[in-house]
Amino acid sequence: MSLLPPHVARRAEIVVDLAAIRHNVRLLAGEIGPDVALMVVVKADGYGHGMAQVAAAAREAGAPWLGVATFDEALALRAAGDTGRLLAWLTVPGEDWAPVVAADVDVTAYSLADLDQLVDAVARAGRPARLQLKIDTGLRRGGSLPADWPALVAAARAGEEAGHWRVTGIWSHPASADDPAHPANDAQEQVFRDALATAEEAGLRPEVRHIANSAATLLRPSMHFDLVRVGIATYGLDPAPGHTRDLGLRPAMSVEATLAMTKRLAPGDGVSYGHTWVADAPVTVGLVPTGYADGVPRHAGNTAHIGVAGVRRPVRGRICMDQLVVEVAGEGEEPAVGAGDRVVLFGSAPDPTAQDWAEACDTISYEIVSRIGGRFVRRWTDSERDS
Ligand SMILES: *Cc1c(COP(=O)(O)O)cnc(C)c1O
């Protein structure tokens, strides 16, 4: 992936364990049982883990479906050699649907305008499409509003009868599945059931009806229907902290860097821009050669922790563009690390996790893993196969 020479790769790395992905996929498949299909969502470069690598690992672990947002992502997966069922769901007017139809991707229509584009694409692709319809059951993001749904299903059925496509799926997306007591869950499930009934009356017989994301998969079995779309849980992160039980998911990503130097501070020394942290005792700090240009959130300044020789140590002062400072030893402690030693920004316990970073930065783990990148070099390992 990287054009940099290998010695540069050691400066700061994102290490992805593909065995963890396979483990999580198998665990989730066991959770939903044999009658529900699993779709592993690999959009956004596999939530920062590497789309093609995650896709291959997910297929190997038995995932029958993959999901992506954009056509570009779908075509990139096909170019990487993936031939299984694959759903894409985010387009803008004027995009060309023909290449994805030709590539055997299930496409999603939100509106009659989407169906018009698809009719044209099918003619050019020279083969019928696999079409899924999205109903907006309450998220008020993409999808057909319930008021527009009867017209959409009628047109979809007419197109099916005309041989343009087969309607393979009907789906929606929950707004608050990470909060099981939220009234939107019951409300959305009911709207979805009504929309399915309307589609059935119109003559549609979709293979897969689906609404669940990771949180609904783990917390709301009544939302499983025929298929669940699992993203964050595949990567070993908790979709609903505080609500889920410990399933044994394993974080696949570990973000690591080599200390550029360490130094001893005197009481009164301020650290990094603005001196927002001032040592009140003689402590030792380490220079971590990565920063916000690499996707390390600037909000982590003075709040997040870094794994140093298996101990969580505080980030001191502001995160800079290329660097940050971590306290590696407190007063009276001998530092366990020095220049050249590896530290872990986030990964798996006992090191801090992406969830710990999310809490420190007032965000969600999804944002932490999907934004990390920049000059980090990504490397894929396999803890079950590497010696
Ligand atoms: C991203 C996404 C998912 C996966 O959500 P998670 O919470 O990561 O499981 C599922 N469906 C759609 C439509 C998405 O955009």
* 152-163 pLDDT tens trace: 999 999 999 999
Confidence of residue 1 (pLDDT cuts 50, 70, 90): very low
d(CA 306, CA 317): 13
Query: pLDDT digits over 318-369, tens only?
Result: 999 999 999 999 999 999 999 999 999 999 999 999 999 999 999 999 999 9
From the CB of 89, is ligand 1 less than 6 Å away?
A: yes
What's this model's pTM, rounded to 2 decimal places? 0.96
For 253-381, CATH number out of 2.40.37.10, 2.60.120.10, 3.10.450.50, 3.30.1490.20 equals 2.40.37.10
Instruction: Give residue 9's pLDDT.
Output: 52
- 43 CA closest ligand 1 atom index: 1
Atom of ligand 1 nearest to the CA of 232: 8
The full set of domain ranges for the chain reads 36-235, 253-381
Digit-coded pLDDT (tens) for 97-107:
999 999 999 99
Is residue 225 predicted with pLDDT exceeding 50?
A: yes
- Running DSSP on this structure, what letter comes out for residue 376? P
- Whether ligand 1 lies within 6 angstroms of the CB of 239 is answered as yes
Query: What count of other Cβ atoms lies within 10 Å of the Cβ of residue 78?
Result: 16
Whole-number Å distance between alpha carbons of 46 and 54: 6
Output the CA 90–ligand 1 centroid distance in Å. 12
Could you give the percent of the chain with pLDDT greater than 90?
97
| pLDDT higher than threshold 60 for residue 8 | no
Could you tell me the distance, in angstroms and rounded to a whole number, from the CA of residue 164 to the centre of ligand 1? 28
Tell me if 36-235 shares its fold with 253-381: no
Instruction: Report which protein residue has its CA nearest ligand 1's atom 15.
Output: 69
Point out the annotated binding site. 141, 321
pLDDT, one tens digit per residue, over 290-325 is 999 999 999 999 999 999 999 999 999 999 999 999
Which two structure tokens, joined as six digits, stand for 25? 């996929």
Q: Is the CB of 212 under 6 A from ligand 1?
A: no
Which atom belonging to ligand 1 lies closest to the Cα atom of 230? 9
Q: Which is the closest atom of ligand 1 to the Cα of 178?
A: 7
Please identify every residue annotated as catalytic: 43, 273
User: How far is Cα 377 from Cα 369, in angstroms, rounded to an integer?
Assistant: 14
Q: Which two tokens stand for residue 223?
A: 């939302």
Q: Which residues are annotated as a binding site for substrate?
A: 141, 321
Tell me if 169 CB under 6 Å of ligand 1.
no
- For ligand 1, the distance from its centroid to the CA atom of residue 274, given in whole angstroms, is 39
What separation in Å is there between the alpha carbon of 232 and the centre of ligand 1?
Answer: 8
Q: pLDDT for 13-56, tens place per residue?
A: 999 999 999 999 999 999 999 999 999 999 999 999 999 999 99
Nearest to 186 by CA among 223, 224, 213: 223
Looking at residue 5, its pLDDT comes to 60
Alpha-helix runs per DSSP H in the chain:
6-9, 18-32, 43-47, 51-60, 71-79, 98-102, 112-125, 149-161, 183-201, 214-219, 354-360, 365-371
Please tell me if the CB atom of residue 231 comes closer than 6 angstroms to any atom of ligand 1. yes
Judged against a pLDDT cut of 90, whether residue 10 lies above it is answered with no
State whether the beta carbon of 132 lies less than 6 angstroms from ligand 1: no
Query: Is 46 close to ligand 1, i.e. is its CB under 6 Å away?
Result: no
Q: Which residues pair with 13 in a beta bridge?
A: 256, 377
Which residue's alpha carbon is nearest to atom 6 within ligand 1? 231
Closest C-alpha to ligand 1, atom 13: 173
Question: What is the whole-number distance in angstroms between the Cα of residue 246 and the centre of ligand 1?
Answer: 20
Rg (CA), the chain: 24
Q: Is the model's pLDDT at 4 over the cut of 90?
A: no
CATH number of 36-235: 3.20.20.10
